[in-house]
A and B are shown apart, each in its own frame.
Chain A
Amino acid sequence: MGAVVGTLTMQTRQRRPSRDKVDDDLELSMVCHRPEGLEQLESQTNFSKKELQVLYRGFKNECPSGVVNEDTFKQIYSQFFPHGDASTYAHYLFNAFDSSHNGSIKFEDFVTALSILLRGTTTEKLQWTFNLYDINRDGYINKEEMTDIVKAIYDMMGRFTYPALKTDTPKQHVDAFFQKMDKNRDGVVTLDEFILSCQEDENIMRSLQLFENVI
C-alpha cells in the first residue's frame, strides 16, 4: 500500500521540473520598454508636453513595464463597461492601436493613436475608424467584418438591456449601416465611400467632435 503511494508520488515529481523550466524562461524574458524623448513625441503628435506627461503617468501606472499586452488592455477596457463583455471590442481596438502588429502597444503607439482621435482632422479620424472596422486590413469592409464589430459593441451592453436584445439586432444594424455607406452597392465599403458617407451625415460629423476636450 505504501509502495503504491510511493510510486505515485515519484511520478508526479518527475513531471514538475519541465514545467518549472518553462516558467523560468518566461520570467527572464519580461520586456521593459522606455519611450523616446519627450521632444520627439511632442513633434510627432498634436499634444503639448504637459499633456504627454499626464498621459505617460497614467500609462506607466497601469503598465509599469512600458508595454501593454492584449490581456492587460482587455482588462483595463473591461473596467469601464461592467455590464457586459468588452473583450471582443477591446481586441479589435488593440489591433487598431498596435500599428506595428507585434502584439504589444508601446507608449508611442498609444499616444499616436490618441493624437489622431482627439486632435486629428476629421479625415484622419475617419481613416482611423475605417482601419478599426477593416479587421483583415484588405482595404474593404465587408458585411462579416462589420457584423463582428457591431456584435462586439452589442456585447458590451450585456444581457440586461431595455428593450431586450434579440439575436438579429446586430444584423439589422449592419444592414442599416451598409444601406447608408455602400454607395455603389457592391457589398463592400471602401475608404472613400466611408469618408464620403460619413461626411454627409451630420450626426456623425457632430459626434466626431464630441471628445475634443478630453485631455
Chain B
Amino acid sequence: MAAGVAAWLPFARAAAIGWMPVANLPMPVAPTNKNKHQDELIILNVSGRRFQTWRNTLDRYPDTLLGSSEKEFFFNEETREYFFDRDPDVFRSILNFYRTGKLHYPRYECISAYDEELAFFGIIPEIISDCCYEEYKDRKRENTERLMDDLEDNKDSKLPNMTFRETMWRAFENPHTSTMALVFYYVTGFFIAISVITNVVETVPCGSTPNQRDIPCGERYTEAFFCMDTACVMIFTVEYLMRLFAAPSRYRFMRSVMSIIDVVAILPYYIGLVMTNNEDVSGAFVTLRVFRVFRIFKFSRHSQGLRILGYTLKSCASELGFLLFSLTMAIIIFATVMFYAEKGSSSSKFTSIPASFWYTIVTMTTLGYGDMVPKTIAGKIFGSICSLSGVLVIALPVPVIVSNFSRIYHQNQRADKRRAQKVQKARLARMRISKSGSSTAFLHSKRNGLNQSLELTGSLEEDQQMKKTTSLLESQHHHLLHCLEKTTNHEFVDERLYEQGYLQTALQNFPSRSPSLSSEEGITGTCCSRRTKKNMQPLSATHTHSHTHNLQELSALHIQCGEQQPLNTSRSSLNLMSDESGSLNCKSSGLVTTAIISIPTPPSNNSRASPDAPPPPNPDAPPLPNPGTDVVKISAL
C-alpha cells in the first residue's frame, strides 16, 4: 500500500460501514491503537540543518532507518532531537521520499555519494521514481564502467600464477601487456599489410614482353608472388592455431567473427594447393582468390575505430533495413513507370523492367552515368521526379545512422544497455512484487493466524504480540480486508491454492449424485472452509470424521477433508491458538450436527432455514455457520 494513501485509510475503514447491513457474519474486532498519542513533530538535525516533520510521516516506511527504532540510536537527549552527521543536501531528497512517497535523484549529486546516503538510511535505490530513474541508471553504469576500466588497468599487472595458456591469451587480447605481445602485434599487422598489397599489385600490368601484351605482374613473377603468399599464409595459420590453443573457450572462439574471418582468409590458399591446375576448376579457383581480400578485415583487431564502425552497422541494422526497403520500393515503382513510359519510343534502352532498375538506381543516387536516358516527354518527366525523390529517400535514414555512430562512439558499449535492460526488468519485477506485496502481506498474516487470534480472543497479550510483527497501519488494513471477507463469507487465497481448491472440488463432484448430498456437502464444506485458519484444519477433519460416520453418503466428503489436510500442513505455521481453536471446533461441530439433522428440505430452502436453526442453541458462538448462503456451491461447477 502506498504511503501517500495511508492518510486515507480512516476513510476506507469508515466506508466499510456500507458493507455491514449486507454481511451475515459478525465482524472481527478492530485493532486498537494502544499508544494513541497525538501526532508530534520531531526534529531531525542533519549536520546543523534542522528538518522537522510529523512522526507519522516517518512511520510510513518502517523498514528504513528513520521509520524504525534504529533512529533512537541517534537521539540526542539534551537537545531532544535526532542528530545525523550526514550530508544535508542529500537528506532533503530522502525526507521528501517520506513525505511524497517518491524518491528523486538530483542531477547535480555525485552518484556514489548518493548511493552511500541511501545505504545509510536503509532505502533501496530501486524505488527511485520513473522521472529520475533513467538518469540514475545511466550515471551508475558510467560509474561502474569507469571502475571496471580502472580495475582492468590494475589487472594488467602480471599475476603470479597464471598458466602459460592464460598468459598467451592475455597477450593476444591486450598487446600492451608485454613486449613480446607488442612485437607479435606489429608483426602480424605488417604481414596483413604485405598480403593485401601483394594481392593488389598482383593484378597491375607491369612491363611488356615482346608478346606485345600487358600481362599482370602476378603472371610475370609467379614464383615471387607465390613465395610471398605462402609466407603470409604460414604466419596467419600459425597465429590462428596459437589463438585457438590459448582461447579459454575454444568452441566460443571458433564461433566468433574474427576467427571466421581468419579462416576465410587462409582457406583459399590451401584449397588452391590441394586442387590441381585443372582447366575446369580454375574458374572456381580464381573466384576463391577473391576471398583473400578478407584479410583486410583482420585489421579490425588492430583498430578500435573499425570495430566500432562494424558495431554501429550491426546496431543500425533496422535503419539500414528501412533504407534498403524504401529504396527497393522506390526502384520498383519508378522502373515500372519508366519502362511503360519509354515503351513507345524506338530503340529504347528500357527493354524490360529489370533493365530499367539500373537506370532507376543510377538516377536515384544522383550518379547519372548517361548510358540509359529517357527520350519521350513522359519518360523525362518521370525521370526528373525519380531523381528528386531519390535525394529525399536516401537523405532520410543517413542522419540516423550518423547519430547512431556518434552515440555509440561516445558511449562505447550497447551491450551494457542490454544488461541495464535486464536490470530494468528485474526492477519492474521488484516493483510488481512490492505492489502485490500488500496483498501477499495480508495472506501471509492470515497464514500466521493473526486475524484468527484477533477474532477469537482479542485478549491484550496476543494483541501486543501481534503488534510487534506488523505496524498499526498494516494491522488496520488487514482488519479492513478481513471485514470484507466476513461480509462476503469468502476468503482471499493466492492463485496456487485457489487452483488446488478448484481441482479438489472438481474431483469431488464425480462421486456426488443426489441433490440432498449437495446440501450436506455444503455444510461439511462449510465446516472445512471455515477452518481455513489453516492451522485448525487437522482438528476439524477429525471432528467431521466422527460426525459423518452417521451418514454414509458423506463418505465422499471424507476425501475432501482428508485431501485438504496436506494442503493445510503446507500453509499452517506454528500457532499458539490451536487449543482454543479446538474448543471452538467442538462447538461449531455441534452446530453442524444440528444443522444436518434439521434439513430434510431441498437445497434452495437451506439457505433460508439454516441461519435460523443454529442461533437458538448457541447465540454467543462467534463463528456462526451459515452453510446455505455462500459455501454451498462446491458441487456445482
Please list the 8 inter-chain residue pairs (A to B) with the smallest Cβ-Cβ separation, ordered nearest first. A58-B7, A2-B389, A2-B392, A160-B498, A117-B14, A161-B490, A82-B439, A207-B27
Give which listed residue, A81, A172, A198, A213, contacts B481 with CB less than 8 A. A81
- Ordered by A's residue number, 19 sampled pairs between the chains whose C-beta atoms are within 8 Å are A1-B330, A1-B393, A5-B392, A59-B7, A61-B4, A82-B439, A92-B18, A110-B11, A114-B11, A125-B17, A128-B17, A153-B484, A157-B485, A160-B498, A162-B498, A175-B607, A176-B608, A210-B30, A214-B13
Q: Is the beta-carbon distance between A194 and B21 smaller than 8 angstroms?
A: yes
A144 at the interface (CB under 8 A from B): no
A50 at the interface (CB under 8 A from B): yes
Give which listed residue, B22, B33, B502, contacts A150 with CB less than 8 A. B22
From B12, B19, B20, name the one whose CB has the most chain A CB atoms within 10 angstroms.
Answer: B20
From B18, B484, B630, name the one whose CB has the most chain A CB atoms within 10 angstroms.
Answer: B18
Give which listed residue, A77, A173, A211, contacts B629 with CB less than 8 A. A173
Point out the residues of chain B lying under 8 angstroms from A210, CB to CB.
20, 27, 30, 483
Q: Is the beta-carbon distance between B15 and A117 smaller than 8 angstroms?
A: yes
Within the assembled complex, what's the spacing in Å between the Cα atoms of A138 and B21? 19
Within the assembled complex, what's the spacing in Å between the Cα atoms of A73 and B472? 24
Chain A residues 184-215 with CB under 8 Å of chain B are 194, 198, 203-204, 206-208, 210-211, 213-215
Q: Smallest Cβ distance from B429 to chain A, in angstroms? A: 16
Q: Is the beta-carbon distance between B501 and A163 smaller than 8 angstroms?
A: yes
Within the assembled complex, what's the spacing in Å between the Cα atoms of A153 and B19? 8
Q: Mark B20-58, 1 if CB is under 8 A from A, else 0.
A: 111111110010110010110000000000000000000
Point out the residues of chain B lying under 8 angstroms from A77, CB to CB.
12, 15
Within the assembled complex, what's the spacing in Å between the Cα atoms of A121 and B11? 18
B242 at the interface (CB under 8 A from A): no
Q: Smallest Cβ distance from B534 to chain A, in angstroms? A: 10
Within the assembled complex, what's the spacing in Å between the Cα atoms of A129 and B333? 72
Chain B residues 146-175 with CB under 8 Å of chain A are none
Q: Is the beta-carbon distance between B21 and A198 smaller than 8 angstroms?
A: yes
Point out the residues of chain B lying under 8 angstroms from A173, CB to CB.
22, 24, 488, 629-630
Of the four ranges (under 10, 10 to 19, 20 to 34, 35 or more), the interface on chain A belongs to 35 or more
B492 at the interface (CB under 8 A from A): yes
A8 at the interface (CB under 8 A from B): no
Point out the residues of chain B lying under 8 angstroms from A159, CB to CB.
498
Within the assembled complex, what's the spacing in Å between the Cα atoms of A150 and B17? 14
Q: Is the beta-carbon distance between B484 and A211 smaller than 8 angstroms?
A: no
Point out the residues of chain A lying under 8 angstroms from B6, CB to CB.
58
A135 at the interface (CB under 8 A from B): no
Point out the residues of chain B lying under 8 angstroms from A198, CB to CB.
21
Q: Is the beta-carbon distance between A62 and B8 smaller than 8 angstroms?
A: yes
Chain B residues 330-365 with CB under 8 Å of chain A are 330, 333-334
Give which listed residue, B10, B15, B488, contacts A93 with CB less than 8 A. B15
Within the assembled complex, what's the spacing in Å between the Cα atoms of A42 and B385? 79
Q: Is the beta-carbon distance between B17 and A208 smaller than 8 angstroms?
A: yes
A132 at the interface (CB under 8 A from B): yes
Within the assembled complex, what's the spacing in Å between the Cα atoms of A194 and B477? 29
Q: Is the beta-carbon distance between B10 and A165 smaller than 8 angstroms?
A: no
Give which listed residue, A55, A128, A162, contacts B493 with CB less than 8 A. A162
From B15, B334, B436, name the one whose CB has the most chain A CB atoms within 10 angstroms.
Answer: B15
Within the assembled complex, what's the spacing in Å between the Cα atoms of A158 and B438? 14
Name B28's closest neighbour in chain A (CB-CB).
A210
Q: Is the beta-carbon distance between B498 and A203 smaller than 8 angstroms?
A: no
Q: Is the beta-carbon distance between B502 and A164 smaller than 8 angstroms?
A: yes
Chain B residues 374-407 with CB under 8 Å of chain A are 385, 388-389, 392-393
Name B631's closest neighbour in chain A (CB-CB).
A163
Within the assembled complex, what's the spacing in Å between the Cα atoms of A177 and B38? 41
B371 at the interface (CB under 8 A from A): no
Q: Is the beta-carbon distance between A211 and B495 smaller than 8 angstroms?
A: no
B480 at the interface (CB under 8 A from A): yes
Chain B residues 586-637 with CB under 8 Å of chain A are 607-608, 611, 629-631, 633-634, 636
Name A165's closest neighbour in chain B (CB-CB).
B490
Q: Mark A172-184, 1 if CB is under 8 A from B, else 0.
A: 1101110101000
A166 at the interface (CB under 8 A from B): yes
Give which listed residue, A133, A156, A166, contacts B636 with CB less than 8 A. A166
Within the assembled complex, what's the spacing in Å between the Cα atoms of A59 and B435? 22
Within the assembled complex, what's the spacing in Å between the Cα atoms of A112 and B571? 44
Give which listed residue, B26, B334, B484, B629, contacts A207 with CB less than 8 A. B26
Within the assembled complex, what's the spacing in Å between the Cα atoms of A11 and B490? 56
Q: Smallest Cβ distance from B170 to chain A, in angstroms? A: 53
Q: Is the beta-carbon distance between A161 and B493 smaller than 8 angstroms?
A: yes
Q: Is the beta-carbon distance between A172 and B501 smaller than 8 angstroms?
A: no
Point out the residues of chain A lying under 8 angstroms from B5, CB to CB.
62, 76, 79-80
Q: A129-B21, A211-B14 are in contact. Are A3 and B436 (CB under 8 A)?
A: no
Q: A1-B389, A117-B14, A175-B607 are in contact. Are A158 and B20 (CB under 8 A)?
A: no
Within the assembled complex, what's the spacing in Å between the Cα atoms of A24 and B283? 73
